[in-house]
Amino acid sequence: MNTALKDEILEKCAVLDIPMVGVAPVERWNTPLFEPWVPEPFYPKHIFPEAHSVIVLGLPVSLPVIETTPSIYYHELYRTINSLLDQYGYRLSNFLNQKGYPSVFVPRDGYGDIDVLINNPVAFFSHKHAAFLAGLGSFGVNNTLLTKEYGPRVRFTSIFTAAELPPDPLLEEDLCIRCMDCVRQCPVGAIDEKDYPDGLIRKDLCARYSKKLCDRYISPCGVCIKVCPVGEDRVLYGREDVSVYGDKGKDSELQDAWGHVRGYGGK
């Protein structure tokens, strides 16, 4: 195990202001931790046979911005985070290549257009499973990976590397509190009350709604990650009270601010 190299990677990530980094050995995909599990062609080793470890990076989605969703504000933030994830993945894989460890990064999404996902809502590699196996979080009823730091308001990318890096332990805690706010507030009723993966979301409904928002320049939706009460980011922004997203919050000054933002930049 190359501990010195992992320290270098962590140092590099700290310099780049990447707050979440985890490492999963590729063997972790071989032992399904629940059913259904990702099929074998989606395993890192199947995609990049040289891989020994998967490094997962996470960048937060700023809570006050996603609170305005659907909006041009969240749309632009989403694009910025996506671009940074791809750039950091590319830079880190090149850094490892230069040190003599064959490495490649996987784009943070990996689809041509939302139309593709309406018919086939799957990418060639799942970052949320990678993040789970790298110990960054646990699955929520909303089908996303919840983290202690940002709840589900974090986007991921993964780097496959031949380097044998010390793994991070899986998170033992179950972070989802099953409040069902994501189920109640999903604008298209796509989320099932059952735990993941017994309750898989209605991806067709979610993707079709995203397509509608896309036509208005204000995709994606993200309500299910906005309303989730989990995450230390809520303490930073003083947003522990999630009732502000429901009917109770109708008259708050935050609602005025969100309404204002939503009035511009999209159609």
Residues near ligand B12 (CB under 6 A)? 34, 36-39, 42, 78, 108-111, 117, 121-123, 125-128, 142-145, 152, 154-156, 197, 200-201, 203, 206-207, 210, 220, 222, 224-225
Give min distance, CB of 234 to ligand B12, in A.
Answer: 15
Using DSSP, state whether 58 is helix, strand or coil.
strand
Give min distance, CB of 258 to ligand B12, in A.
Answer: 16
154-161/20-25 β-pairing: unpaired
Using DSSP, state whether 94 is helix, strand or coil.
helix
Give min distance, CB of 22 to ligand B12, in A.
Answer: 13
Give min distance, CB of 241 to ligand B12, in A.
Answer: 22
Q: 68 or 210, CB closer to ligand B12?
A: 210
Give min distance, CB of 3 to ligand B12, in A.
Answer: 28
Q: 203 or 239, CB closer to ligand B12?
A: 203
What single letter denotes the amino acid at residue 111?
Y
Q: What span, in angstroms and rounded, lies between the C-alpha atoms of 83 and 91? A: 12
Q: 101 or 196, CB closer to ligand B12?
A: 196
Which residues have CB under 8 Å from 58's CB, separation 6+?
18, 19, 20, 21, 22, 131, 136, 147, 150, 154, 155, 156
Give min distance, CB of 148 to ligand B12, in A.
Answer: 12
Give min distance, CB of 223 to ligand B12, in A.
Answer: 8
User: Which ranges of the chain does DSSP label H, i.e. alpha helix?
Assistant: 3-15, 44-47, 63-66, 72-98, 114-119, 127-133, 181-185, 203-215, 223-226, 233-236, 253-262
Q: 53 or 158, CB closer to ligand B12?
A: 158
Q: 99 or 203, CB closer to ligand B12?
A: 203
Q: 167 or 220, CB closer to ligand B12?
A: 220
Q: What span, in angstroms and rounded, lies between the C-alpha atoms of 205 and 100? A: 45
Q: 42 or 90, CB closer to ligand B12?
A: 42
Strands lying side by side in the sheet with 103-106: 20-25, 53-60, 154-161, 103-106
Q: How large is the greatest C-alpha to C-alpha distance in the chain, in angstroms?
A: 59
